[in-house]
């Protein structure tokens, strides 16, 4: 039972990593600056900066994200 859960979580993590890598590659291909490529959900455990992108491992290993330039809420346009 425990092995099944571990294998399931490992496979799910691999699928999330591949999915987020697709977003990352698409953004790079279309010239969008990627601020951070994160595996897991924040807070950050470890991060390394290469070029303009931070590659991070985060505390909750149940997801992932790609943070694109201009994606913060402060600069968001709100339509009413």
Residues with a known catalytic role? 20
Q: In whole angstroms, what is the distance from residue 33 CA to residue 23 CA?
A: 12
| Contact by Cβ (8 Å): 54, 35 | yes
What DSSP string runs through 35-62? EEEEEEEEEEEEEEEETTEEEEEEEEEE
């Amino acid at each position: 039972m425990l092995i099944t859960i571990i294998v399931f979580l490992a496979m799910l993590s691999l699928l999330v990593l591949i999915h987020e890598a697709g977003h990352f590659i698409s953004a790079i291909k279309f010239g969008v600056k990627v601020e951070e490529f994160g595996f897991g959900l924040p807070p950050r455990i470890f991060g390394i900066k290469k070029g303009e992108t931070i590659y991070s491992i985060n505390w909750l290993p149940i997801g992932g994200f790609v943070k694109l330039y201009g994606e913060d809420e402060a600069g968001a346009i709100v339509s009413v």
